[in-house]
Structure 1
Amino acid sequence: MSDLQEFQKLVIANASEVKGLSIGDTAPDFTLPNAFGKSVSLSNSLKEGFVIIKFYRGEWCPICNLDLREIQKHLPEIQALGATLFAISPQSPDDALTATQKNELGYEVLSDAHQEVIKAYNLQFDPGDDYHQRRDLTKENGDGSKTLPVPATFIIDKSGKVVAGHVEADYTQRMSALEVVEALKALKG
């Protein structure tokens, strides 16, 4: 097994206890700055319809960038189904702007620099000392912390309930854009 595979196994093991929110849970409300520093709130967006939240590790994560670009390709269909899309990371608004520009995103990329929303959604974890020796998260995260969110996707209905979701300790596994679209279609009935 390669060094990278061993490293990935350690990170996944350190995230294995993280479960996130469950279907039926009430999604904690939040207000976060977007890439341009404007405040965006979950409760205001829910007035318009479903909200999809993608929690990602940061703009430095290649797998996260692939996931953010994939969902961008399906944004017109997601919006046609009456949903708003947010991506949330523990990085600063400047880093959110970098992610927005680098990936040519047409949806809100929000900064949870103090990881309050990440904690409220039960996604925060410490990837471990081996990880910290390879990547200095204190330089990546907005608040200088050493924790990350487990990548997750939640679909929240107008009442604020989680109606679909995907939380996976293996950061290479994400809820695909097609799965998001299919879930929205099923929910719209």
Structure 2
Amino acid sequence: MRKYILIILTSLFALQVSAQNGLQKGADAPTFSAKDNNGKTVDLKAILKSHKAVVLFFYRGQWCPYCNKYIQKLQDSLEYLTGKGAYVIGVTPETSENINKTVEKTSASFSIIQDKGYKIMKDYDVNYTVDADLYSKLKGYGADLEKNNGNTDHILPVPATYVIGKNGKLIFVHFDKNYTKRTSVSELLTAIQGS
């Protein structure tokens, strides 16, 4: 039964984000500067001056088991990623309280940014609005977007991952409208090594 519910939700999600395409490999990465979950200013330009690459990923929230699993994989492989010169940044629409829940669940020690006005999500073309039907279904499964995001506009990101090279270009893109599919750490490491 749970498998069928997952298939239905996946189909609804794919229909909702049909207009989103994400940025393509080779494009200039939109720059940003924001405070992370530890109050530290995360400035993409500054980070690229001191790191070989940035792994930038978008996640839906602490309520999403696929997001938590992916964040845990990134955390488990953080030494490998940073050892190759990468800086990891997560972006979510969730409130700082819910980012703290993500950290508790995954032990994430890298920067996580609350994208309050969705500027970063919009710049990377990963934002979409959840319709009333899917919102109700998610709420029925315990994912109250209004409570989690602290607003009533029901915006989520496609859970995309980008690797940004030192030159500010996207050297790797994983953009899949199916929220159950995420890139592997080995693909990220390969992209970083090739930059």
How much does 1:6 deviate? 1.7
Write the deviation string for residues 136-184 of structure 1: whole angstroms up to 9, x where unpaired. Answer: 3222214442110000000001121111111110000111112111221
Q: CA RMSD in A?
A: 1.6
**2:50 & 2:103 partners in 1: Cα distance?**
23
Tell me how far apart the structure 2 counterparts of residues 2 and 63 of structure 1 sit (CA, whole Å): 17
Show CA shifts across 1:40-65 (max 9, x none): 11111111121110111011111000
Q: What SS does the aligned partner of 1:19 have?
A: coil
Is residue 170 from structure 1 mapped to residue 178 from structure 2 by the alignment? yes
| Aligned pairs, number | 187
For residue 15 of structure 1, report the CA deviation from its aligned partner.
Answer: 1.3
Q: Runs of 5+ in structure 1 lacking a partner?
A: none
Normalising by structure 2, we get a TM-score of 0.89
- Report what 2:109 is aligned to: 106
What residue is the counterpart of 2:61 in the other structure? 58
Would the aligned equivalents of 2:55 and 2:86 in 1 still touch at CA under 8 Å?
yes
Q: After TM superposition, which residue ranges in structure 1, 4 or more long, deviate above 6 angstroms?
A: none
Query: 1-side partners of 2:191 and 2:161: how far apart?
Result: 12
Range 132-141 or range 85-94, more displaced: 132-141
Match of 1:70 in 2: 73
TM-score, normalised with respect to structure 1: 0.92
Q: 1: distance between equivalents of 2:55 and 2:47? A: 10
One-letter amino acid of the structure 2 residue matched with residue 146 of structure 1: H
What SS does the aligned partner of 1:47 have? helix
- The alignment-based identity, stated in percent, is 30
Asked if 1:90 is matched to 2:98, the reply is no
Q: What is the CA–CA distance in structure 2 between the aligned matches of 1:163 and 1:4, rounded to whole Å?
A: 32
CA distance in 2, matches of 1:142, 1:34: 17
In 2, the alpha carbon distance for the partners of 1:39 and 1:81 equals: 22
Q: Which residue of 1 aligns with 2:191?
A: 183
Which position in structure 1 is the counterpart of 2:119? 116
Q: Report if aligned partners of 1:24, 1:161 keep a CA contact under 8 Å in 2.
A: yes
